[in-house]
Chains A and B, each alone.
Chain A
Amino acid sequence: MKVEILGSEGCSTCTQLKEDVQNIVGEMGKEDEIEVVKVDDPAKFASYGVMSTPALVADGEVKFKGTVPSDEEIKEVLS
């Protein structure tokens, strides 16, 4: 699975979301299956139809936008 965290530079909640997701992936022991990348190109946000960050995209599908999801919500998406 490829997880993209969309967040502009200078957006602290976006950095935090990336860390949260990486921690959870680590907890679940899925480092080999799930690739987490940060995307900071606004044109890319637009191509996903996202206008508020942070957003979480899993395999090209927007799961959350404009909010930091809770750990449970992140786990649900990753499993």
Chain B
Amino acid sequence: MFKYIAVQLIGLTGLTGRLAAALEFWIYDTLKISVILLGVVFAVSYLRTYLPPEKIRDFLKGKKAIVGYALAGVLGIISPFCSCSTVPLFLGFVGVGVPFGMTITFLTVSPMVNTAAVFVLFGSFGWGLTLAYVLGGLIVGIVGGAGLKLLGFERYVVDFDFAANEEEDVDASDKSARQRLRETYEDAREIVSRIFPYVVIGVGLGAAIHGFLPEGFIQNTLQGALAVPAATALGIPIYTNIMGVIPVAESLIGKGLPVGTSIAFMMSVAALSVPQFVLLKQVMKKNLIIAYGGIIGFGIMILGFIFNLIF
């Protein structure tokens, strides 16, 4: 349907060739991502009024390792939070006894895989790649969390006091429907207005690549063993939302960039970024941040290599 609208609109302008291809991509992807983003964010924001972070924390508190890590990852997927709440969440989790490793898993998966991204990935790439991305993200998060825990990096968390006064009720079932809707609206509006600029930029870049990057350019330059590490490294200085990087990856794959390399790039952009490290510095000592970046980056590269072999 979106394709049809895009094609019709381009037809009206009478453009042809590269510019038309770029514009068509731009209209199509902007429409598609906006519709999915709005729908999913509203739906998830509503569901989340039943699942405040206190509840997530209580779920994770007494869990055994295997179940706990898997659950931490899944909760990371369904809870799209702003990078500005990363630090308070981290303190809140660790402060009341959620195991350190599971907290790391939650924090890693959350920006990398979220519900809206899952739907957009599905719309752009089909189910195979979406499944690979989601499972891959979970595995990187779980291995990263468990790895840092096993290597003893917990001691590099900055000291702080968390008010454990919280035997208060975290029961979220007593809210009125009206209150839920209001919270949903506030939440969704905040999320969409924060993400949307990244989508516009991402789709613009994607469109430019789609229309103007010569065929064969990628085959000639971005192949070989170094492509995956390079894509991962390139993702670190780039700071955007996962929703903003999907359209770029979409057109890069269209131009022949291998799937594993593309996934490594998307994950690195989402999970590893300089602003994120600066935020984490408030609660983690340098050794932990370096180890965190190292282990997650390494995981992403391994995943990229594996996916390049599979797809």
Which positions in A face B, CB cutoff 8 Å? 8-13, 42-43, 45-53, 66-68, 70
A-B contact pairs, 29 of them (CB 8 A): A8-B85, A10-B82, A10-B84, A11-B82, A12-B190, A12-B194, A42-B91, A42-B282, A42-B283, A45-B91, A47-B160, A47-B162, A47-B163, A49-B92, A49-B95, A49-B166, A50-B88, A50-B92, A51-B54, A51-B57, A51-B89, A51-B92, A52-B53, A52-B92, A53-B85, A66-B53, A67-B183, A67-B186, A68-B186
Question: Across chains A and B, which 4 residue pairs bring their CB atoms closest together, nearest first?
Answer: A51-B92, A49-B163, A8-B84, A46-B91
Asked whether B93 is an interface residue with its Cβ less than 8 Å from the other chain, the reply is yes
Q: Which residues of A contact B164 (CB under 8 A)?
A: 49
Contact: A46 with B84, CB < 8 Å?
A: no
Q: How far is the CA of A76 from the CA of B164 in the complex (A)?
A: 26
Q: How far is the CA of A43 from the CA of B88 in the complex (A)?
A: 8
Tell me the smallest distance from the CB of A49 to a CB of chain B, in Å: 4
Tell me the smallest distance from the CB of A62 to a CB of chain B, in Å: 9
Q: Which residues of A contact B84 (CB under 8 A)?
A: 8-11, 53
Interface residues of B in 77-119 (CB under 8 A from A): 82-85, 87-89, 91-93, 95
Tell me the smallest distance from the CB of A61 to a CB of chain B, in Å: 10
Q: Which residues of A contact B183 (CB under 8 A)?
A: 67-68
B160-182 Cβ-contact flags toward A at 8 Å (1 or 0): 11111110000000000000001
Asked whether B16 is an interface residue with its Cβ less than 8 Å from the other chain, the reply is no
Instruction: Kindly report which residue of chain B lies nearest to residue A14, judged by CB atoms.
Output: B84
Asked whether B221 is an interface residue with its Cβ less than 8 Å from the other chain, the reply is no
Q: Is the interface of A mostly helix, strand, loop or mixed?
A: loop
Q: Count A-B pairs with CB separation below 8 Å.
A: 77
Contact: B186 with A51, CB < 8 Å?
A: no
Instruction: Kindly report which residue of chain B lies nearest to residue A10, judged by CB atoms.
Output: B84
Q: Which residues of B contact A70 (CB under 8 A)?
A: 182
Report which residue of B83, B95, B186, B194 has the largest number of chain A beta carbons within 10 angstroms of its beta carbon: B186
Q: Which residues of A contact B52 (CB under 8 A)?
A: 52, 66
Contact: B85 with A52, CB < 8 Å?
A: yes
State the interface size on chain B (CB cutoff 8 A). Answer: 30
Q: How far is the CA of A45 from the CA of B163 in the complex (A)?
A: 9
Contact: B85 with A11, CB < 8 Å?
A: yes
Report which residue of A11, A12, A49, A53 has the largest number of chain B beta carbons within 10 angstroms of its beta carbon: A49
Q: Which residues of A contact B57 (CB under 8 A)?
A: 51
Q: Which residues of B contact A48 (CB under 8 A)?
A: 163
Contact: B163 with A46, CB < 8 Å?
A: yes
Q: Which residues of B contact A42 (CB under 8 A)?
A: 87-88, 91, 282-283
Contacts A8-B85, A46-B163, A52-B85 given; 16 further ones with Cβ under 8 A?
A8-B87, A9-B84, A10-B82, A13-B186, A13-B190, A42-B91, A42-B282, A43-B160, A46-B162, A47-B163, A49-B95, A49-B165, A50-B88, A53-B84, A66-B53, A67-B183
Q: Which residues of A contact B161 (CB under 8 A)?
A: 43, 46-47
Contact: B186 with A52, CB < 8 Å?
A: no
Q: How far is the CA of A67 from the CA of B95 in the complex (A)?
A: 21
Instruction: Kindly report which residue of chain B lies nearest to residue A8, judged by CB atoms.
Output: B84
Asked whether B193 is an interface residue with its Cβ less than 8 Å from the other chain, the reply is yes
Contact: B88 with A8, CB < 8 Å?
A: yes
Q: How far is the CA of A67 from the CA of B166 in the complex (A)?
A: 18
Q: How far is the CA of A68 from the CA of B164 in the complex (A)?
A: 23
Q: How far is the CA of A76 from the CA of B73 in the complex (A)?
A: 39
Q: How far is the CA of A10 from the CA of B89 in the complex (A)?
A: 15
